[in-house]
Chains A and B, each alone.
Chain A
Amino acid sequence: MSIPILTLLVLVPLAGAIVASLLAKSSESMAKNVALVSSIATGLLSVWMLIKFPTGSAGFEFVSKHAWVSEWGISWHLGVDGISLFLVVLTGILFPLVIVGIDPHHDHKQYLVWMLVLESGVMGSFLSLDLFLFFVFFEIVLVPMYFLIGKWGYDQRVYAATKFFIYTMAGSAFMLVGIVATAFLARRDIGHLSFDLIEIAEKSNFAAGTGRWLFVGFVIAFAVKVPLFPLHTWLPDAHTQAPTGGSVILAGVLLKMGTYGMLRFGVYLFPEAAVWAKPVLLTLAVIGIIYGAIAATMQKDLKRLVAYSSVAHLGFIVLGTFALTNQAITGGVMQMVNHGISTGALFLMVGMIYERRHTRVIAELKGIQAVAPIFAGFFTLIMLSSIGLPGLNGFVGEFLVLIGSFATARWWVVAATTGVILAALYLLWAYQRVFHGEPEEANKSFAEITKREAMLLSVFVAAIVFTGVYPKPMLNRIEPSVKSLLEHVESHSNYKQPEIKAGE
């Protein structure tokens, strides 16, 4: 592999950001072009990587490793496997769409710069195979997100941005201590100080107690990011106050950093502890599912409703992750991507509604279907995907999670299933209140979807339908990695996956 494709994935958006920030203040269109070029280039690179990715490979591909802080055993170590593959692609595609599709209300140039920085950070987080490097990207993401929410958000933006920043940073505080402790404790087993994920995971042999503490440290950070109940309170605020583009990215990829982290840095590093913590995490996940759903039902604000639905959906992902079976984890990874697509699209549409009506209060929106039928059609499809209707992408992930978890976490699954029903309830009810009925005076002039918006949404819809109908290519690439992960877990703990019939 001559081209360091992963390094490029991180650096291209960053380069775009730097170029754009150096442009004169007046040349906003120029900045937009720069942003487009670099984000689209990143997207293409990610797709190319997807194509090149050898199906069936369980290990890390396209690895790129260079010494960075040799004094501390830290290196620039990137790699991609089945688990991160689609998240990277999702990131690569979502960003150009957001940049093309949604314009901020002011200060375009700065907005674009922050977006590109954000993309670079997210890419880095998904690709890092070095604990330190991962932490750097994980943290650096906060800064652009903070500004995106704080500067381009709605009324309560500063409050929301600050809450987001502080919550996440507090979580990372534990993780940083955990990371350093991990590296130092693993030093005995490895022989030298190293922050390399693979090296630590394969060679280290933590005592049960130690591993559990470290695991807790990591999981707190990820739980905030996911967000797992009861650490979720920042999310509705951040989502509601963020600008549409910010919300899309936040829901689409940022939250996945938490669930991805749990898999990669929780389960992989501390298999024994993951097994140990399983009941607690599953319980929290299920509470999150039900609580998110109920809370969503109560919301008066459409965007807030979608935000709470995210809490519920991510609960499913966590459920899948810690059920610790092949199918459940595969389903969880699927669900990460699917949720990114469908919730991202939902936020996009909520944003469109707000653009038109300058309100998101459900009660004030009524009868939109009558004036904008195509718009309503798009919404319906995306909503159904979010509910998990068979044939659409949401179903595949959710179903795999539930099936896979049933063997190891039966009662939790039973409880979680109510979440599925509740999801149908709150989304359909919301749909009914917004789109059905006689349009009020203010909603009479609700504009139909524009061409640009339609094109934008079609990308999402295409992904929704394709994945729903034909998930096989995705599953083929995800499964080997998941399998090898679970083998790692089994070999490093006394946990054994229950036998289930193969071939889902």
Chain B
Amino acid sequence: MFGLVVVPTPTWYLVLSAVLFSIGAVGVLVRRNPLVMFMCIELMLNAVNLTFVTVGRAMSDINGQAIVFFVMVVAAAEVVVGLGIIVSIMRRRSGVNVDDLTELKG
């Protein structure tokens, strides 16, 4: 209708998710704040979700979406646990920063 009839193929989505995944992974590597590292892990999981949905659609397989549903549950549970741990550390001392956690060095 606008004269531009380029339709995004699954590849576009897959590349986007690959890039997103990499950004997330780099984030985990460069950031030191556990909360932010944790957010980066969420980015990675989202990239995975996008991949599943895309692949599922490309193959006309609803299971791709079913899997994403489970991944979301896992992500939610992970967050609960992760934040629980962070809070329990914070109750002992303040300022969560991976570099400040130096008791374990070998």
A touches B in complex, CB < 8 A: no
Residues of B at under 8 Å CB distance from A? none
Binding site for B on A (CB under 8 A): none
